[in-house]
Chain A
Amino acid sequence: EAGVTQFPSHSVIEKGQTVTLRCDPISGHDNLYWYRRVMGKEIKFLLHFVKESKQDESGMPNNRFLAERTGGTYSTLKVQPAELEDSGVYFCASSQDYKGGKLFFGSGTQLSVL
């Protein structure tokens, strides 16, 4: 069974540019999460999809971040325009259970904004 796949694994962009991260969850997992780890800090929640609907986006930093999940399958996270403080590792995770249950994580996208 394929795991959670994230693309790209690394992205280096300049301040003001746009970057789109992609996540393919495990097939059949309705729940998809985006998390971010800034260097030296803990992994922090960004948002949660149930199928194609945003269940909770309370962790999104500001309106420069836009997440979508087309047809309840893969998800994209776009940052436009990128700022220096957006640098970090962006993780996607999926799960079967709505009310908890273990998360299956992708390997993350390392985003560096210069």
Chain B
Amino acid sequence: EDQVTQSPEALRLQEGESSSLNCSYTVSGLRGLFWYRQDPGKGPEFLFTLYSAGEEKEKERLKATLTKKESFLHITAPKPEDSATYLCAVQANTGNQFYFGTGTSLTVIP
């Protein structure tokens, strides 16, 4: 069964304190792994797509990496505006639906 597990559930960081979020997945053939950011009262907003093990993507203070079993979202020197819930989702190559994790709620304290 296709499944996504994210850890930790919640993370509090001081401004400037770098850390990583984890997304472990099992899928019957990976078409893509997606990272989204969700702010309160809003829908998820796309950040990255990763397609194969070893791939990396960067955007400002965020860097996403992918292995055959997991993905990491590295946050370097975070700022308070990075506070949000970060969601990981996978899409199997056998269909078009996306399987989401429950997310990591990140709080960055000034």
Contact = CB atoms under 8 A, between A and B. Distances in A.
A and B held together in a complex: yes
18 contacts: A33-B97, A35-B100, A44-B100, A45-B99, A48-B97, A55-B96, A56-B95, A56-B96, A58-B97, A99-B96, A100-B91, A102-B49, A103-B34, A103-B46, A105-B36, A105-B43, A105-B45, A108-B43
Contacts of A80: none
B95 A104 contact: no
Interface of B: 4, 31-32, 34, 36, 41-46, 49, 87, 89, 91, 95-103
B43 A91 contact: yes
Given A99-B31, A100-B49, 9 more contacts: A42-B101, A43-B44, A48-B96, A56-B96, A100-B31, A102-B49, A103-B34, A103-B98, A105-B43
A104 B98 CA distance: 13
A72 to B, nearest CB: 16
Main secondary structure of the interface of B (DSSP, over half): strand
A73 interface: no
B4 A42 contact: yes
Contacts of A48: 96-97
Given A42-B4, A100-B31, A100-B32, A107 B42 contact: yes
Nearest to B38: A105
Interface residues of A, number: 28
Given A93-B43, A100-B31, A100-B32, A43 B100 contact: yes
B43 A100 contact: no
Contacts of A105: 36, 43-45
Interface centre among A31, A98, A107 (most CB of B within 10 A): A107
10 smallest CB-CB distances across A and B, nearest first, come from A105-B43, A45-B97, A43-B100, A102-B46, A42-B102, A42-B100, A105-B44, A100-B31, A107-B43, A100-B32
Contact of B102 (A41, A59, A101): A41
